[in-house]
Amino acid sequence: GLPHCPSLLIDPSITASTCLQNLRKEKSRNAARSRRGKENFEFFELAKMLPLPGAITSQLDKASVIRLTISYLHMRTFASQGDPPWSPLMEGQNHCSKVRRSTHSLATDMFELHLGAHLLQSLDGFVFVVSSEGRFLYISETVSIYLGLSQVELTGSSVFDYIHPADHVEMAEHLGIKPHLRAEAGCHVVPESASSTASTSSLAGTPEPGSFFIRMKSTLTKRGLHVKSSGYKVIHVTGRIRCRPAMVPGSTRSVRRPMGLVALAHTLPPSTMNEVRMESQMFVFRVNMDLQVTYCENRYSYRQEHTEKQKTAQNHTQKYTTTDNNTQPYTETHNNI
């Protein structure tokens, strides 16, 4: 027979303990599976509530759902608490009213329902909203046409992740981000930041329109080019700071606190473009680095009381008087050159 071996003996207490452990593991696995199922269902329901097509929301991961949801909630606050508040489309209309409406009224409502999409198609650019912390609250889907980037990818992300490092300070100044908070917002300070042309008070705290140029990442540019901004496109940004009224503690006076930037972005035409459409009111002139006019088209003489020789000898800066309120953009452009 087999030799006596203690290890082959089965202890009933050990068997019961092993079975109990297996039951606990199985119960824990079932509980975790059920918890994951409920969690996935909640994320699925949350994704369906986002103002995005179902084909997009069904492909989102959990981190993207959370990021887009937070951005959407911030955007609602941005719209409702700003001055003036942005009312939802056709707010206050009783859609359940039994009063018969005219065909013209129904057609007008249908047009306004799709007005936003029509405006985006007509604008040669994309619209975006950036919070005062430097995050995209909204960006139109047309950004993919001009930069090759996804709307879902950009929404909720830091604007500084998609801007050339040399332009971080300028963007922070236009957003009104204080210098000691820029690093926290993701702003990268570069040595040449002192030469920024942006004015700290130009947009911060005021709703005055602003215009500036930045370089944004683009997947549509040719890589491998021997230029410093390879992989970036120059974007012309025009917009204004949106503010909200806030009461001063211990006083009845209210101040305007900046909430973020609402802007329209245009991409500059490529440098290889060799033809420009000339309208009837346009003319061509050439100046040197001292802004001395060296050439001007003949058609200019029909609009101004100068001959071509007089124009060529005249310094271009003499066209502007010291009392002209519109000389600041001209001066900034001259300094940039």
pLDDT of res. 108:
75
Domain coordinates in residue numbering, the chain = 18-48, 113-247+255-267, 285-336
Which amino acid is it at 91? E
pLDDT, tens digit, 9 for 90 and up, residues 17-68: 788 888 888 888 888 899 999 999 999 999 999 988 888 888 899 999 999 9
pTM as predicted: 0.63
CA distances 252 to 81, 84, 246, 272, Å, are 19, 20, 10, 58
- Coil, strand or helix: which one is 76? helix
Spatial separation of the C-alpha atoms in residues 233 and 267, rounded to whole Å: 7
Which amino acid is it at 26? E
Q: Which residue's structure tokens are 């901004």?
A: 229
pLDDT, tens digit, 9 for 90 and up, residues 252-289: 777 888 889 999 999 887 666 667 778 888 888 888 88
Q: Could you tell me the two tokens for 288?
A: 């040197």
pLDDT of res. 327:
60
Report the greatest alpha carbon distance in the chain.
Answer: 127
Spatial separation of the C-alpha atoms in residues 185 and 309, rounded to whole Å: 54
Top-level class of domain 113-247+255-267: alpha beta
Q: Could you tell me the two tokens for 318?
A: 């003499």
pLDDT of res. 257:
84
Q: How many CB atoms are located within 10 Å of the residue 44 CB?
A: 13
pLDDT of res. 204:
41
Which sign does the torsion angle of CA 230, 200, 239, 158 carry?
positive
Instruction: Extract the residue ranges of the chain whose pLDDT is less than 50.
Output: 1-2, 5, 7-8, 89-98, 191-207, 226, 322
